[in-house]
Structure 1
């Protein structure tokens, strides 16, 4: 007799994530030093720097800590010690926008609304539908 494997579902329900995300963004927007772009991307400069910023055609190397509004950590290269490398154009829309604002050596915190991240579908079991993503990013290299 065949067994049915349990189906992996994305973290959180659509409605719960949407409400949690909206609450998180409203509170975050009231913090000192928080800026917001026309697209809805919110950010705060942790460590500023002067220098070149990447374009959508560049590759970047960075440290990042990614978590959700419920506090669950998705990835933390600061902790692992292994920086991420990828093309800016491969990143989710909100991170693409944020990276292109960052000068080399800077550290920013981004709050990326669901529509600039994984949207209504989410991304597998780690990021549910309508989930806001929070990212702490330090830009190490531009190639």
Structure 2
């Protein structure tokens, strides 16, 4: 009886922690060894492409950003660059990986973000284009912090 309960519990935990798929874990592991890539305790990885020197947003500061998002195979699922206009949003209005990164960036910064699914759309995926468990790759450019700065 105890063994059955233990097995049941372990299966529950394994399912709850499924998160990023194996292909994504392999990608993040390899990416984390590349020169210039920083790994944060949350699992978020980033590479600074352009160093900014302006304000850093607080969690609720409206911020104007350009971005493009792809899957690890290069399939693009969204791009403000292609629409020709940056979007304005606060760090607390977006996926966890962006929330964390945005509060570390400064105006003028351009980063490449490598986001595990736990900090993205998780096991549910999004919009039919992002499968569950997918690692997301974003190029994000912080143009202007419109609200308070840290």
- TM-score of the aligned structures, taking structure 1 as reference length: 0.84
- Equivalent runs, 1:29-40 vs 2, <5 Å: 29-40=32-43
CA contact (8 A) 1:20 1:70 kept: no
CA contact (8 A) 2:68 2:76 kept: yes
The 10-residue stretch of structure 1 (40-49 or 85-94) with the greater mean CA deviation from structure 2: 85-94
TM superposition shift of 1:79: 2.8
Query: Structure 1: how far apart are the matches of 2:137 and 2:87?
Result: 16
The count of corresponding residues between Structure 1 and Structure 2 is 128
CA contact (8 A) 2:60 2:90 kept: yes
Query: Structure 2: how far apart are the matches of 1:70 and 1:109?
Result: 15
Please name the residue that 1:26 is paired with: 29
Larger Rg: 2
User: 4+ residue stretches of structure 1 with deviation over 2 A?
Assistant: none
- TM-score of the aligned structures, taking structure 2 as reference length: 0.81
1:86 aligns with 2:89: yes
Query: Structure 1: how far apart are the matches of 2:106 and 2:145?
Result: 10
Please name the residue that 1:128 is paired with: 131
Query: Structure 2: how far apart are the matches of 1:42 and 1:58?
Result: 23
* Structure 2 residue ranges without an equivalent (≥5): 1-17
